[in-house]
Amino acid sequence: MEDDRIHGRVLNWHKKILSGYAYRKDTTDPVSLEIYGDEIHLGTVTADKFYRIAKERSIHPTGQCYWKFDAKSLDVTQYQKMSARCFRTGELLGAQRIDIHREIFFYQHIPKTGGTSIRSHLEGALPEGALWPSSKVLKEKFNGKYPTGQEIEDHHDEWIDESVKIVFAHVNYNTIRRLPLDYKIITTLREPVERSISHLNHFIKHRNDVNEEALIDGEFSPEIVAAISNLQHRMMNIVEHEMYDEIASRYDFIGFFTDIQRCTDYILNRLGIRASSIGHLNKSVYKLNQSDRLDSIKSYLLQINQKDLNLTDGIRQIHSITL
């Protein structure tokens, strides 16, 4: 017996656009869907656009099963849920209704700025499943490392479900904005020289391909320089001549390493959780800090991090926070 049911799901609600995919297994002809706000009919769409993931994962033979409903001209604030139904049968697509008033956060974890401490504290304070990826998911699915930006883009819809309140990852700003949810972005910054020293210490401890003696002597390979110089500026995708108030306006909150308690309190308060004290996890003293050439190393790091220095100074002045 042929399967003539409608398969698929609503993927996301982002900037007043509802999107998803839908298909029938008995035909490659595009299917039609009716869009509802709560129980009010808002319009009709056809699932005939290309969806790369459906093609690559053999969900659909051609991949022409994506649909998008633009509600920008409609006042949808009166509704709580958006849904898609099969035009022919009225069946609710994927048994899903999307909460269009949902707030979801993305903590852009710039390395060595206190994000690990914030993440560990939040995981203990939030309900299970609210923070993604959890320590368990990191260990079992990603070998203890954050997924890459490309992996998150490719698998976002299957990884980020309705229970997730905040996502953590080492990704740049533009990658987050390409994702199909209207994330409120949070990050922390750190004084550039101290951040770079911490990053170098991390290399000494965790990377077998790093020449420890060379780093302690202040000899940095081009690869190392490229990895640590102006990293905060680069991950925030700052364009030339962009004003610091414009940069700050792109983020829901920008905190600082020396006051990660404030950042953690802000996140918990936004998520309706009572704040509690946090401590910085990494208190080790590494070899680079004891180098006889530490002063000259700091001087060099200052030279190669001028954009980061200007950035942290500019954001600090806007928020009137002392680093």
Pair 157, 254 in one domain: yes
Q: Which two tokens stand for residue 315?
A: 């954001």
Pair 23, 152 in one domain: no
The predicted pLDDT at position 172 comes to 96
Pair 249, 157 in one domain: yes
150 to 15, 224, 284, 320: CA distances (angstroms): 22, 23, 32, 35
Pair 56, 114 in one domain: no
Please compute, for residue 246, the number of CA atoms within 13 A of its CA located in the half-sphere on the CB side: 7
Query: What's 160's domain CATH number?
Result: 3.40.50
The predicted pLDDT at position 321 comes to 42
Pair 210, 131 in one domain: yes
Residue 289, SS3? helix
The predicted pLDDT at position 291 comes to 74
Instruction: Look up residue 320 and give its DSSP letter.
Output: T
Residue 3, SS3? coil
Pair 301, 166 in one domain: yes
Cα separation, 53 vs 6, whole angstroms? 18
Cα separation, 86 vs 92, whole angstroms? 7
Q: Which of 58, 81, 99 is the last residue of a domain?
A: 99
For residue 229, being part of any structural domain is answered with yes
Pair 17, 32 in one domain: yes
Pair 166, 251 in one domain: yes
Pair 209, 133 in one domain: yes
In 105-191, alpha helices (H): 115-125, 135-142, 149-159, 173-178
Q: Which of 99, 115, 150 is the last residue of a domain?
A: 99
How is the beta sheet containing 40-46 ordered, strand by strand?
40-46, 32-37, 81-86, 98-99
Pair 93, 115 in one domain: no
Assessment of whether the complete model's pTM goes beyond 0.85? no
For residue 295, being part of any structural domain is answered with yes
Supply the Cα-derived Rg of the chain in whole angstroms.
23
Domain of 111? 105-319
For residue 176, being part of any structural domain is answered with yes
The predicted pLDDT at position 282 comes to 60
Pair 133, 278 in one domain: yes
The predicted pLDDT at position 224 comes to 92
For residue 232, being part of any structural domain is answered with yes
Cα separation, 112 vs 131, whole angstroms? 20
Instruction: Look up residue 146 and give its DSSP letter.
Output: P
For residue 1, being part of any structural domain is answered with no
Angle, CA of 19, 147 and 170, to the nearest 5°: 95
Contact at 8 Å (CB) between 188 and 118? yes
- Whether cis (ω within 30° of 0) applies to the bond prior to 133 is yes
Sign, CA dihedral 217-219-224-228, equals: positive
Q: Which two tokens stand for residue 187?
A: 């990050």
Across the chain, which has 323 residues, the per-10-residue mean pLDDT values are 74 82 91 94 95 84 93 86 89 80 91 94 92 93 91 84 91 89 92 94 82 81 93 94 89 93 91 75 63 86 96 85 39
| 184-189 vs 253-256, strand pairing mode | parallel
| Residue among 209, 21, 3, 183 at smallest CA distance from 107 | 183
Pair 82, 122 in one domain: no
Partners of residue 69 on adjacent β-strands: 18
For residue 127, being part of any structural domain is answered with yes
Q: Which of 75, 99, 123 is the last residue of a domain?
A: 99
Nearest 5°: phi and psi at 121? -65, -45
For residue 16, being part of any structural domain is answered with yes
Q: How many domains does the chain have?
A: 2
Position 110, amino acid = I
For residue 129, being part of any structural domain is answered with yes
Cα separation, 196 vs 290, whole angstroms? 15
